[in-house]
Amino acid sequence: MLSPLAAGISVGLGAAGLVGLAAGGFAYAARWPASRIFGRALIAPKRTGELALTFDDGPNPLWTPRLLEILAGHGVRATFFMVGRAAEQQPELVRRVAAAGHLIGVHSWSHPDLALASAAQVREELVRSRRALEEITGAQIRYFRPPFGARRPYVLRAAREMGLEPVLWNAMTSDWSEPSTDKIVGRLTGKIDRLEQRGWAANIVLHDGNHLDLAANRGPSVAAAEALMARYKGTHKFVTLDSWNL
Ligand SMILES: [Zn+2]
């Protein structure tokens, strides 16, 4: 007998149906991007020794600057998928991220579940957030990660039609709700090491912000990022996602 999750995929319920079957904090996991049934997206290449740190839901006035210090201390460049609404409120911080050599991508304007949005709303979320980030940074924005990983074919198609490359991930844990840095690091290193054994680079998601609450504590996520840099610095190369999209 099919599990509810497998049944959801087989009858083509798509991301919204899968999430309806998933419990609370596991919504992200239910949209596990190993499946390409929702369309083409950049995840990671079959290549060992490379890691991409990516940060979603910022910029955040407290945690993003702290993260920038840590990244600079380790000489690591990362990718930030920003919420347009938060970026517009903190243009100086966005410029600091760009000036430090990190890659900036779009994470929508207001972080809705795009699997539930109309095609017009999807387009508006993408157009508005990309325009804001391009005006702030003066650079072209080329990457898009859908909020909650919601990747209906028309969401990814709309992004590609605008010249935005959809990006998913292959190493994530519920860092947004986990107060223990050790647990976040333990789960992520397990995933990274398993990907490595199978010959894959790791596209790692952590959160430097919270789309609903600028005061959310992202200390455990930021500390986890630092621990990953310390652990893999000697053996792995940290890259930004544009190096995988040649
Ligand atoms: Zn998000």
Mean pLDDT score across all residues of the chain? 85
Measure 1 CA to ligand 1 centroid, in angstroms: 33
- Domain co-membership, 15 together with 62: no
Instruction: Find, among 150, 149, 106, the residue nearest to 126 by Cα.
Output: 106
Measure 50 CA to ligand 1 centroid, in angstroms: 23
Q: Which domain holds residue 79?
A: 34-244
- Domain co-membership, 17 together with 39: no
What is the percentage of the chain residues whose pLDDT exceeds 70? 83
- Domain co-membership, 28 together with 112: no
Q: What is the per-residue pLDDT across 9-56, written as a single tens digit (0 to 9) for each?
A: 322 333 333 333 333 333 333 333 444 455 678 999 999 999 999 999
In the Cβ-directed half-sphere of 219, how many Cα atoms lie within 13 Å?
4
- Domain co-membership, 90 together with 14: no
- Domain co-membership, 24 together with 81: no
pLDDT of residue 4: 33
Is pLDDT of 89 > 80? yes
What is the percentage of the chain residues whose pLDDT exceeds 90? 73
CATH number where 79 lies: 3.20.20.370
Measure 211 CA to ligand 1 centroid, in angstroms: 7
Between β-strands 79-82 and 50-58, what pairing exists: parallel, antiparallel or unpaired?
Answer: parallel
* Percent helix, percent strand, percent coil in the chain, to nearest 5: 50, 15, 40
- Domain co-membership, 66 together with 116: yes
DSSP code per residue over 215-240: T---HHHHHHHHHHHHHHTTT-EE--
Measure 203 CA to ligand 1 centroid, in angstroms: 15
pLDDT of residue 245: 80
- Domain co-membership, 6 together with 76: no
Residues within 5 Å of ion ligand 1, judged at the Cβ atom: 56-57, 147
Q: Six-digit token pair at 16?
A: 């919204």
Q: What is the per-residue pLDDT across 168-214, written as a single tens digit (0 to 9) for each?
A: 999 999 999 989 999 999 999 999 999 999 999 999 999 999 989 98
Q: Six-digit token pair at 84?
A: 């347009």
- Domain co-membership, 98 together with 115: yes
pLDDT of residue 140: 97
- Domain co-membership, 16 together with 89: no
pLDDT of residue 246: 62
Measure 107 CA to ligand 1 centroid, in angstroms: 7
- Domain co-membership, 100 together with 174: yes
- Domain co-membership, 193 together with 147: yes
Contacts of 205 (CB under 8 A, 6+ apart): 54, 55, 56, 169, 171, 172, 175
pLDDT: which is higher, 216 or 154: 216
Within the chain, where are the H helices?
4-10, 14-21, 27-30, 63-74, 84-89, 91-99, 119-137, 153-161, 181-197, 219-232
* Residues with catalytic roles: 56, 207
Lowest mean pLDDT among 115-124, 132-141, 225-234: 115-124
Number of domains in the chain: 2
CA dist 231 and 227 (Å) reads: 6
Mean pLDDT of 152-166: 89
- Domain co-membership, 155 together with 204: yes
pLDDT-derived band at 150 (thresholds 50, 70, 90) equals confident
CA dist 102 and 105 (Å) reads: 10
